[in-house]
Amino acid sequence: MSGFPFTGYRNSVLCLESVPLDYIAEQCGTPCYVYSRAALASAYKEFDDAFGARDHLVCYAVKANSNLAILNLFARLGSGFDIVSGGELQRVLKAGGDPQKIVFSGVGKRPDEMRAALDAGILCFNVESEAELAILNQVAEEAGRVAPVSLRVNPDVDAKTHPYISTGLKENKFGVPFDEAEKLYTATRKFSNLRMEGLDCHIGSQLTELDPFVAASEKILHLLDRLETQGLRLSHLDLGGGLGIRYSQENPPPIPDYVQALCTAIGSRNQRILIEPGRALVGNAGLLLTRIEYLKHTPHRNFAIVDAAMNDLMRPALYGAYHHILPVAKHGEEEKNYQIVGPVCETGDFLGHDRTLTLSQGDLLAVMSAGAYGMSMSSNYNTRPRPAEVMVDGDRVHLIRERESMEQLMAGERLLP
């Protein structure tokens, strides 16, 4: 079971760190997200250590998993944060994140979100268009502040990933076109409340090869050098996130190799290096624990109907994504081919197709690699309260988010007068 750190069977029961998952189901119910503190911390340390003595900042991409306990854990390890909304800003601040380590990405920042970030004193705004520069300048002027800015440049590099999570092609909505970037940097001279600090790119998510990262970095570095010859000295370079993880048979580069490839491309340039990993920090540190409600055998197919659904883990329905599914307790009856599906009224509501497993009604299953873009993309579709979240730490179990209640779910709604 390589690829799932701190996970293994003990006495035929699947454990995360030292905690058997059936114990968690008993204590906290299902469906339930379960994360390993050790796995989160070791992934962070791998990124951080790989830079050695080079000036750098790892900015965890909050959207991958924004639970306060996870943000707090990364903050304690010294992490920075990549946010994409005012809401994520509030979460990071509440979790004890250092504002001076926050970068603010996203194509559609609102003026009120910019103001909140300026007041908090964030490290940098990753600006994605000329129109956004003008609005940010205005907001900064009204606030009596100078906004630190980096331009997100679209390097037009094929990330070779799923089209929905590819962001660095010229037809994508992200960043400023590569060929216009230089002109835009010059144009920013007219904005007296902006200070050009950096240059950034982010070409997509779940990348499993180094080449696109290197190709994008080389284009960005070339631009950095050209800006420098024109007298614009930038203090940091942000190479985004996107490193993939193993869900199934993928072989993404190990974290140290990825960091090494970036450092090699950067060479002796002495800008501070920022990266924005999300999935690679949290993806394989979490799983979704679910219980089989019913087994249903039709002439064509065998279905295992579980209590987790597309509203809890959207990736299979959204991208056709694969998640490995393991039985929590191994037992030796007859194997069958199963469709693992949820109770939601959509045919797209599946967690796994064609899995060969030995299953009984009431069994627990662990949907692996669910730490990233799981809970953070969940919804209440079919009026399903969202799952509880639990963090395992050695032999201890911490509830880090209660299961949502029906009261919470309906709290903002009103009957007509």
Ligand X SMILES: *Cc1c(COP(=O)(O)O)cnc(C)c1O
Instruction: Give the helix/strand (H/E) hosting 152.
Output: strand 147-154
Q: Residue numbers of the site for ligand X (CB under 6 A)?
A: 61, 63-64, 82, 105, 202, 205, 240-243, 276-280, 372
Minimum CB separation of residue 108 from ligand X in Å reads: 12
With 0-12 / 13-18 / 19 or more C-beta atoms within 10 angstroms meaning exposed / middle / buried, residue 125 is buried
d(CA 137, CA 194): 6
8, 311, 375 from 283: Cα distances, Å: 17, 18, 11
Residue 150: phi, psi to the nearest 5?
Answer: -130, 140
Minimum CB separation of residue 328 from ligand X in Å reads: 27
Cβ proximity to ligand X, 7 vs 206, nearer residue: 206
Minimum CB separation of residue 417 from ligand X in Å reads: 42
Shortest-Cβ-distance residue relative to ligand X = 278
Cβ proximity to ligand X, 290 vs 369, nearer residue: 369
Instruction: Give the helix/strand (H/E) hosting 115.
Output: helix 111-120
Cβ proximity to ligand X, 139 vs 159, nearer residue: 159
Which amino acid belongs to residue 262? Answer: L
Minimum CB separation of residue 206 from ligand X in Å reads: 6
CB 388 within 8 A of CB 343: no
The structure tokens listed for 221 are 């570095």
Cβ proximity to ligand X, 33 vs 338, nearer residue: 33
CB 150 within 8 A of CB 198: yes
d(CA 72, CA 401): 14
d(CA 178, CA 175): 8
DSSP 335-379: -EEEEEE-SSSSTT-EEEEEEEE---TT-EEEE-S-SSSSGGG--
- Among this protein's residues, is 345 annotated catalytic? yes
CB 206 within 8 A of CB 165: yes
Task: Check 32, 124, 201, 345 and give the catalytic one.
Answer: 345
Minimum CB separation of residue 73 from ligand X in Å reads: 17
The structure tokens listed for 218 are 């080389």
d(CA 300, CA 351): 19
Cβ proximity to ligand X, 124 vs 196, nearer residue: 124
Minimum CB separation of residue 175 from ligand X in Å reads: 9
Cβ proximity to ligand X, 208 vs 260, nearer residue: 208
Active site positions, annotated:
345
